[in-house]
Amino acid sequence: MKVYVRAPYPENRLKELEEMFDDLFYDPWTKTGERFYEDEMLEKLLSEKPDVLITELDRITEKVLTGYNGLKIIGDCRSNPANIDVSACSKHNIPILCTPGRNSTAVAEYVVGILLMKYRHLDKSIDWVKDGEWKEGTTPYYTWMGDEISNKKVGLVGFGAVGREIAKRLDVFGAEVSFYDPYVEKCGKYIKKDLTHIFKDSDIISLHLPVNSETTNMIDKDLLDLIKPKSVLINSARSKVVNNDDLMKLIEDKDVEVILDVLPEEPPKRSDIEFLKNKNVTLTPHIAGATYQVTNHQAEILNESIKKYYKNENLEKIVYNKEIL
């Protein structure tokens, strides 16, 4: 059997694949910095004739699967296979194995890091020093006095792998962590609340939801209006879980710190950037999950899932398109 690897993979994880398969072709998208769209993907599959495809960005469509019928498994190095036509894979009876939790540590560290930056004014105070403003007679101790995370009420919307990693870290800081997740009943000492109380009670609200029919535009005016002044709202999940018009209204009308790592359109239009230059808005370019270590995490998760699939173990847990089981 042959595996075609289009995702970046560390050497030790490639060796694991070499032990699992007769033939391996490693051609990560990072060589060129470009994904394959359906015509290029189909051409490569017809040329290499793999049994298993490991991808991350390439477009897998009905045209690809109709044109090449040799795939037995598709591994996608993402928590959600946004690059793949899931219904087409199910139609062709091809299981999709994803890598949930691959960037949970990275996103958790991003959230904690950016909270520290904002609460302690680290970015502004660094620029202040670089701009030569630290002069005789200034009082930076008072000018840049900030807040502690300790004793802040934190509400996590979504309590999967990312939410739990954030909870562990903020717990160490002495924050009071609560969560909303209809699929989680209890989790240690963390307090489960409904959405209304998460938004009404919390000093920090951090969103960690997948995009689906239940969550699209779930965070709307009714919830955003409940946020206390001076609170912090972070979205490092997906833009579609928040009603963007309602979010813009919140930014315009209320003194709330909004931290966004995701936008409705990426890269954003100039008009969006101008509006989001509001002093209470912090934008980062979709980098919350971007660490070098994520490559190893996703390869480790996917290799284990492939092993389990061939052993017929935990299929309900590891196969994304469960309708084929």
Domains and CATH numbers, the chain: 2-98+292-324 (3.40.50.720), 104-283 (3.40.50.720)
pLDDT tens readout for residues 20-51: 999 999 999 999 999 999 999 999 999 999 99
pLDDT tens readout for residues 148-165: 999 999 999 999 999 999
**Does the annotation count 164 as an active-site position?**
no
Flag whether pLDDT at 272 surpasses 80: no
- Helix, strand, or coil here: 122? helix
**Does the annotation count 102 as an active-site position?**
no
pTM across the whole model? 0.88
Q: What is the pLDDT of residue 190?
A: 96
Backbone angles phi, psi at 258, to 5 degrees: -115, 125
With a CB cutoff of 8 Å and minimum separation 6, the contacts of 303 are 13, 16, 17, 20
With a CB cutoff of 8 Å and minimum separation 6, the contacts of 205 are 154, 155, 157, 198, 199, 227, 231, 232, 233, 234
pLDDT tens readout for residues 224-257: 999 999 999 999 999 999 999 999 999 999 999 9
- CA 197 to CA 163: how far, in whole Å? 17
Q: What is the pLDDT of residue 79?
A: 87
- CA 144 to CA 164: how far, in whole Å? 31
The catalytic residue among 266, 270, 274, 313 is: 266
Compute the Cα dihedral for 323, 240, 159, 260 and give only its sign: positive
Backbone angles phi, psi at 52, to 5 degrees: -130, 135
> How much is the mean pLDDT over the chain?
96
**Does the annotation count 266 as an active-site position?**
yes
The catalytic residue among 13, 59, 208, 238 is: 238
pLDDT tens readout for residues 73-86: 999 999 889 899 99
Q: Could you tell me where the DSSP H helices lie in 189-291?
A: 195-201, 221-224, 244-253, 270-275
The catalytic residue among 35, 92, 197, 286 is: 286
Q: How far is CA 166 from the centre of its chain?
A: 13
pLDDT tens readout for residues 83-139: 999 999 999 999 999 999 999 999 999 999 999 999 999 999 999 999 999 999 999
Half-sphere exposure of residue 61, counting CA atoms within 13 Å on the CB side?
9
